Amino acid sequence: MGTINYCGFTNNWASCFSLNSTGQVVNSTFTANTNATGNGGAGYMYAGIVSNCLFIGNAATNTTVNQGCGGALAFGNAPTTNFVFNCTFSNNWASGGATATYGGGALVKSAAAAHSLVQNCLFVGNYSLGYGGVADAAGGCGGNSLYRNCGFFGNESVRGGGALSLRGNSTAAYSNVLDSCTFAGNRCNSTNVGAAINIGLGTINNYITNCIFYSNGVVSTVSTQDVYMAQSTNYFQNCCLSTTNNFGSLAVFSGCITTYPQFVNPGAVSSGYPYGTNLLSGSFNFRLQKTSLCRNNGVYEPSWMVGATDCSGYTPVGNSVIGTPRTLGSSVDIGCYEYIAPPASGTTVFFR
């Protein structure tokens, strides 16, 4: 496949594209497409690149076993990597198969050999009847994923992992990386299976750096865990969590804080947002306030931060405002956003 560029796909009844290692989908929008026969409501990736795209209201609705996963995209069995950059996924949903065993409201990994790098993306209000309101690793494919500089807000799953479900199987050990992400307002319908992320059996040596997990919850109850872990070892470095208790030997913490991150305007959230809440509206703001302890307490990673911006997701073509610089010198904030100082008040005088 070649390149899909500047295209719009609406109300189609099958995946709109299938990518191999040379394929690209860029600057395109996918709205209200439905795949009722397989995985990936908008598209299927065996490899390739999807960048600067908008996915809204797509669905994978098949109710047979191992189908109905990945409301927007499905990652297939490829020895190379699936790349997803600068995209926004909103209100996509997945049926999760015959018994809702799988899921992935926006994304699904349907093969263990599929590697994925998802960077600078926004996931807002996605839903899964199974696991993973945003993404699930179906069939024990819970590894080889890197989520970097992404925001996960108001996503929901029925069975576990309101945003992410990272599950393997009893015979394989997979590793995942979460780097500089913010998880807020996500929820699930089951108690203590991860309102934000579910790290299940078959994953080991997961590395979680510069991430915020706060104000996530379980439907109809406030007794929950932002992060659920079923297997060790999970390394948390310079993260902000609602608690570091109850994990025992399953987690190793370094430089973490448990203080509320002081979002600018998270809205009235105590146990996550109901599916369908419009968190893309201007009334919500998950950036940090000036007094947040998350400011300048992240780990500086020059290998990707130099020249990068913070999380912006999809940016319309021709819009030059992409994002705030990811670092100011060698200082970096915890989470997917860098603090923005408000404009100075008063009168500005220019001298010539």
Say whether pLDDT at 222 is over 50.
no
Task: Report yes or no: 56 and 124 within 8 Å, Cβ to Cβ.
Answer: no
Distance CA 238, CA 348 (A): 39
pTM comes to 0.91
Distance CA 73, CA 70 (A): 5
Distance CA 244, CA 343 (A): 36
* % of the chain with per-residue pLDDT over 90: 38
Say whether pLDDT at 297 is over 80.
yes
Q: Is 232 helix (H, G, I), strand (E, B) or coil?
A: coil
Distance CA 91, CA 135 (A): 13
Count of alpha carbons within 13 angstroms of residue 121, beta-carbon side:
26
* pLDDT digits 0-9 by tens, 196-214: 998 876 666 789 999 999 9
Average pLDDT of the residues in 217-232: 68
Task: Report yes or no: 41 and 33 within 8 Å, Cβ to Cβ.
Answer: yes
Q: At 46, is the pLDDT very low, low, confident or very high (cuts 50, 70, 90)?
A: confident
Which of 348, 299, 349, 352 has the alpha carbon at shortest distance from 327? 299
* pLDDT digits 0-9 by tens, 80-131: 678 999 999 999 999 876 566 677 888 887 655 567 889 999 999 999 988 8
Question: According to the model, what pLDDT value does residue 85 have?
Answer: 93
* pLDDT digits 0-9 by tens, 158-175: 888 899 988 765 555 667
Instruction: Tell me which H or E stretch contains 75.
Output: strand 73-75
Say whether pLDDT at 55 is over 60.
yes
Strand partners, 263: 288
